[in-house]
């Protein structure tokens, strides 16, 4: 389904394929021969989503553009099932496995691999060719790799990356009630979205 959001419409070239159950909303531009499979959501409601050529976005993946952090996907990239690319840059020939998550301000360098359920944290940069193992977390610029049992060391690095400020625009410690009131208002803008004809 293609949705216009606040006057912004997805752009889908003839050579691309968007499954009938996928959703492209707002400022989304697909590259040549891009493939967006069933249940995937690409949403450019606040910032752009752009893919290069020969990109495959698999089932139930989410790619979200954010204000100040567009989601930019290079050429020859695989975004696996249930993966989450949120305001991040994914350079050419990157493999983003099932369930991997990339957060705002993150950059996955060319030919890197984010394996199953791995994380590239906010404002972190993964060097080209780096492999993030299954379930590991990459944080910092350049990113350091942390296994799940190194949580205290990860938190020492993660604290300075400013997740609440980068993702929600609020200081650390802001009550969830305040954050979610802002989020509910923001996503309420979708009440005016309208479906576009077949592409």
- 71-88 burial by CB neighbour count: b if 16+ within 10 A, else e? bbbbbbbbbbbbbbbbbb
The larger pLDDT score, comparing residue 36 to residue 153, is at 36
Report the distance separating Cα 109 and Cα 102, nearest Å: 12
Q: What is the pLDDT of residues 104-135, one digit of tens each?
A: 999 999 999 999 999 999 999 999 999 999 99
Q: Which residue has the higher pLDDT, 199 or 186?
A: 186
Q: By percentage, how much of the chain surpasses pLDDT 70?
A: 96
pLDDT of residue 172: 85
Mean pLDDT of 27-51: 95
55-59, 118-122, 165-169, range with the lowest pLDDT: 165-169
* pLDDT beyond 50 at 199: no
Contact 58, 36 (CB under 8 A): no
| Residues facing residue 23 across a β-bridge | 41
Closest by Cα among 19, 24, 21 to 51: 24
């Amino acid at each position: 389904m293609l949705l216009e959001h606040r006057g912004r419409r997805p752009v889908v070239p003839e050579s691309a394929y968007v499954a009938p159950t996928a959703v492209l909303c707002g400022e989304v531009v697909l590259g040549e021969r891009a493939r967006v499979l069933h249940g995937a959501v690409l949403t450019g409601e606040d910032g752009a989503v752009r893919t290069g050529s020969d990109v495959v976005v698999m089932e139930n993946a989410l790619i979200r553009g954010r204000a100040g952090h567009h989601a930019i996907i290079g050429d020859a990239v695989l975004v696996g099932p249930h993966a989450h690319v949120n305001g991040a840059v994914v350079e050419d020939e990157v493999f983003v496995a099932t369930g991997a998550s990339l957060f705002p301000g993150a950059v996955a360098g060319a030919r890197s691999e984010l394996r199953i359920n791995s994380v590239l944290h906010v404002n972190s940069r993964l060097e080209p060719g780096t492999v993030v193992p299954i379930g590991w977390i990459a944080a910092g610029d350049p990113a350091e790799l942390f296994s799940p049992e190194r949580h205290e060391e990860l938190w020492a690095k993660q604290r300075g990356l400013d997740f609440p400020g980068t993702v929600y625009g609020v200081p650390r410690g802001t009550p969830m009630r305040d954050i979610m009131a802002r989020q509910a208002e923001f996503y309420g803008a979708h009440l005016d979205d309208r479906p576009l004809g077949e592409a």
